[in-house]
Chains A and B, each alone.
Chain A
Amino acid sequence: MKPAAFAYHRPESRAQALALLAEHGDEAKIISGGQSLVPAMNFRLARPPILIDINAIPGMDDIREEGGTLVIGARCRHAHFEKPVSSAPIGLLLSRVAANIAHTPIRSRGSFGGSLSHADPASEWCCVARGLEAELVAESTTGRRTIPAAAFFQTIFTTALRPDELLTEIRLPLFGPGWHCGFAEYARRAGDFALAMAVVACRVEGGVIREARVGLGGIASTPVTSPEAVAVLLGQAPSPALFLAAGQAGADATSPDGDIHASGEYRQDLVRAMIRRALTQAFA
């Protein structure tokens, strides 16, 4: 469990990092929190010849609000979200989500952008980004582009980032008045990658749900949305029966794969339960 040999760079500015990426491209990998990359290197499942460490670059873990948007610096650690980072509903939601990610030591190193770039289908941040329709900002020496989450996650451990691109920001809606957000997951042990998870955000006006977003994780090669659950929710007044119906619709539309931890059918049951629970939490 010793990594293969690699060269190590620790740029002190974003420009330096981008230049290194432009120079080395495919050969190089960014290291952020290292909580996914280092284990993979120790198992020799990953053997990048060059590492570019972004931990010395100032400003990469800033968080700010811009209009209706929460802008998260890619290197922001999971632990940073344990207390709400915003008084808007997104703040409370992210703190509830963060509590489910791994354990304290991992949360204190692992980063939001690292999770998205790694694109584990059972990553909580990936589920949140996809379900709540985040926009992801990537930079390279040739410029900067914004990628919608729907286009970002391509398949397991694969994103739309080019080898010369650095993920710099994640932009999530703050969710203003009238929005209700919730999250639920099931894992065999506290801190494990979940067998299934759901994130929801609903806007209620005049007693009925006018807008809804439902994201699911851990059940396919990427995080997904559930338009079927959304369809059940729209135009209806929130109620336990509605939450269950949304869960059922969401579950019926999925066909998760099985592995040693859970069969596909079991995961489908969990999807129903997690949508129901996330909605229950959102309206509690």
Chain B
Amino acid sequence: MGGIGRSVTRLEDPPLLRGQGRFAADIRFPGELHMRVVRSPIAHGRIEQIDIADALDCPGVVAVWTGADVAEIPPIDFRQMRIPGLGDYRQPILAQGMVRYVGEPVALVIAETPYQAEDAAELVFADIEELEPVMTAVQPLGEFAPGLTTEAGVVRKSYGDLAAAFEAAAHVFELEFAIGRHTGVPMETRGAIGFWNAEQERLEMHGASKVPHANRLAIAKMLDLPPEQLHLFEGHVGGGFGIRGEVYPEDVLVCLAALRLRRPVKWIEDRKEHLLAANHSRDQHHRIRAAVDAQGVVLGLEDEFFVDQGGYVRTHASTVTDLTAGMLPGPYHIPAFAAAGHIRLTNKTPAGTYRAPGRYEGTFVRERLMDAIADRLGIDRVEIRRRNLIPAEAIPFKRGLDALGTEVVYDAADFAGLLAKLEASVDLPALRESLAARRAAGEQVGLGLAYFVEKSGLGPFDDVILSIAATGRVEIVTGAASVGQGVETVMAQVAASVLGVAHTDCTVVHGQTDRIARGMGAFASRVTVMTGAAVSMAAETLKDRLRARAALLLQADATGLVFEGGLIRAGEASVPLGEAAAACAAEDGTPLLTAEASFTTDHMTYPYGVHLAVLRVDAETFGMVVERFVVAFDVGRSVNPMLVEGQIHGGAAQGIGGALFEEFIYSADGQPLSASFADYLLPTLNEVPMVEALVLEDAPSPINPLGVKGAGEGGITAAGAAIAAAVEDALQGRVSITRLPITPGRLRILHLN
């Protein structure tokens, strides 16, 4: 009946498959106006003046604003991981005197049609005095503003006695690694519609996603509105990946415009804007040192890394840097550790989180290091990992670090067990033999493998309001959000399991700030863990009441009652769930039987796994073909295995993209050279093999009632590391891969040298 563990099809899909989706651009209000943002064509400069006269004269134009028109609106604040010193680097909603990346909003045009807005926007002329841009995070510090350098902050984390580790070391490794600038590219670009609801005297923003409740508070504060006067509404969302749904300048601008003009104002991002304006990610440079004993066991790690933050520090503040440092040691014991992450401003599009933020990067660095140690000491690349893994007996394992403001405690894991299962499932010795045979026959083909630890289920809370109607229909109102990942289906399955109803009899509400007071939204693989736990608690509360009520109705012993098929049964006798619910509601004097629950936690839960890639390199073109991609992933408990696999497939595709294809390239003067899909190369079905998912449930989380761990990110985390290892193996040590993405042109140069 669609309970936990069943691969039921998604409740979300029927309207989407019928073309009845309501994405941001589908939302239309009568009399709506259209906003077009005028963006800086210059990477770094001082605005001398902005000429808007011609634009104002264009047909249909209602307003043209520049920075001066919004000078009283504060810059966009941080949503999480605020650390001292970052505040001065926040982004204004329209440039205030300075531009710091190509694509920065400098003005806006609001007109009756999108065509008129775009025509007029072309006539806004910003006279900008060009300044020298800073184009890498590793160059000497420059000046961000008078008295402020281009280093916004440094995140430091450590444990253990590092000096002792290096003293005891038989070998010391020093390596540098770089991860290219790329990001999540949802199929639906961003969009926001500001609407002044005169009837209710409130401002509304439609097209919200990811964190509507947090954004409601943030935008209300910026516009100096009481929060009750602003509501956010999430429709269908065509993918998020971390980048969509944060507060961006455009979200605030449509709200402000709707407030000032008292007309609906709509902004739909085009793809070129998206690649220039939505958060970039990754782009880190690491210098790592390892103290290693004679057997290849890592005694200590020291990592200094530089994060290319782009032009401003956006809502994520230090999140990516924090997660990189806090999660870097991964599944290995590593008794001593120190990391220093430098958040450096450059003149590129600002950066934020993207699926597995900090872990994609850190996993690449750590796993490449493991391979390098193995190769130099002549130890097998799998064996070196076995020697360093945290043993099952040491779990729960306190890492001695924090991440996202919580103490890192690996709550349940059998790292060696998962590795063994993967080896058995692909028959690793046989696979290696067959690849060796192909190499002997002249092919350049190899295998790479990388371990990762993910984090998920970030607290501190999630609330749920669950009600049952007399018809038996269950409504679950959550503070979660849906970015397309299947929230409705999964929450319905959790409730269905507890209440013994069909999951199709459950309706799930998410992303509506007028339906529930608080909500944390959807990020950090948190929803199934946090919202799922709250749903199960609320359902259990109602089940207790229904059981008592049904026992009276059926004249039966409460302990023997069975909830199934929408009925509460005592042997042959039964009462429909809805009828029992109605009886309870009548008792309460409410229309529906309702319970609220809140799940709170101070800790995250840590899923983990291994990626394995088989890859072929063409001898003439250096083109790389991923022949096989396997993800072994322990998610504690899989509410819907099909959806977990879907997450893995999508994640792996994106991981392959970052490893081999996707990169934002800039010219020396700061012009973006990858601002369309002709130049920013996303992998397609042709470049991604059928991903093989080995979903394990060996280590259920003890810190939430369902035992689940988040499954949203493990498909991507180790992809860069595994693919790099496979390329090296294919070329049998003739190259060493220290940088992503690995392009054919770069591989050719490595091979020549």
Q: Tell me, rounded to whole Å, the shortest Cβ–Cβ distance linking B529 to chain A.
A: 36
A residues less than 8 Å from B676 (CB atoms): 43
Bound-state CA distance A192–B119 (Å) is: 31
B272, A193: Cβ atoms closer than 8 Å: no
B residues less than 8 Å from A190 (CB atoms): 684, 686-687
B683, A189: Cβ atoms closer than 8 Å: yes
Interface residues on A, range: 20 to 34
B665, A266: Cβ atoms closer than 8 Å: no
**CB-CB contacts below 8 Å: B739-753 with A:** 743-745, 748
The residue that A189 contacts in the complex, of B115, B122, B270, B687, with Cβ under 8 A, is B687
**CB-CB contacts below 8 Å: B475-500 with A:** none
Contact with A along B609-628 (1 / 0, CB 8 A): 00000000000110100000
A186, B665: Cβ atoms closer than 8 Å: no
In the complex, what residue of chain A is closest to B673 when comparing beta carbons? A260
B122, A44: Cβ atoms closer than 8 Å: yes
- Counting residue pairs across A and B whose Cβ atoms lie within 8 Å, the total is 56
B119, A4: Cβ atoms closer than 8 Å: yes
Bound-state CA distance A138–B372 (Å) is: 62
Interface residues on B, range: 20 to 34
Known: A189-B683, A260-B674. A270 touches B621 (CB 8 A): yes
A273, B620: Cβ atoms closer than 8 Å: yes
A residues less than 8 Å from B665 (CB atoms): 260
A260, B620: Cβ atoms closer than 8 Å: no
Q: Is B271 an interface residue (CB 8 A)?
A: yes
Q: Is B514 an interface residue (CB 8 A)?
A: no
Interface SS majority for chain A: loop
B residues less than 8 Å from A186 (CB atoms): 621, 623
B residues less than 8 Å from A262 (CB atoms): 744-745
Known: A186-B621, A260-B673, A263-B745. A43 touches B681 (CB 8 A): no
B residues less than 8 Å from A263 (CB atoms): 745
A193, B678: Cβ atoms closer than 8 Å: yes
Q: Is A7 an interface residue (CB 8 A)?
A: no
B686, A273: Cβ atoms closer than 8 Å: no
The residue that B744 contacts in the complex, of A5, A188, A260, with Cβ under 8 A, is A188
Q: Tell me, rounded to whole Å, the shortest Cβ–Cβ distance linking A228 to chain B.
A: 19
B residues less than 8 Å from A272 (CB atoms): 620
A266, B687: Cβ atoms closer than 8 Å: no
Bound-state CA distance A169–B292 (Å) is: 71
B748, A269: Cβ atoms closer than 8 Å: yes
The residue that A273 contacts in the complex, of B272, B621, B678, B684, with Cβ under 8 A, is B621
B271, A1: Cβ atoms closer than 8 Å: yes
A residues less than 8 Å from B271 (CB atoms): 1
Q: Tell me, rounded to whole Å, the shortest Cβ–Cβ distance linking A182 to chain B.
A: 15
Bound-state CA distance A188–B621 (Å) is: 10
Q: Tell me, rounded to whole Å, the shortest Cβ–Cβ distance linking A241 to chain B.
A: 15
Q: Is A144 an interface residue (CB 8 A)?
A: no
Bound-state CA distance A277–B679 (Å) is: 26
- Given A263-B745, A272-B620, 6 more A-B residue pairs with CB atoms under 8 Å apart are A2-B118, A5-B115, A43-B676, A262-B745, A269-B620, A273-B621
B interface residues (Cβ-Cβ under 8 A, vs A): 114-115, 118-119, 122, 270-272, 620-621, 623, 661, 665, 673-674, 676, 678-679, 681, 683-684, 686-687, 743-745, 748
Q: Top 3 A-B pairs ranked by shortest CB distance? A: A273-B620, A190-B686, A1-B270
A interface residues (Cβ-Cβ under 8 A, vs B): 1-2, 4-5, 43-44, 186, 188-193, 260-263, 266, 269-270, 272-273, 276-277
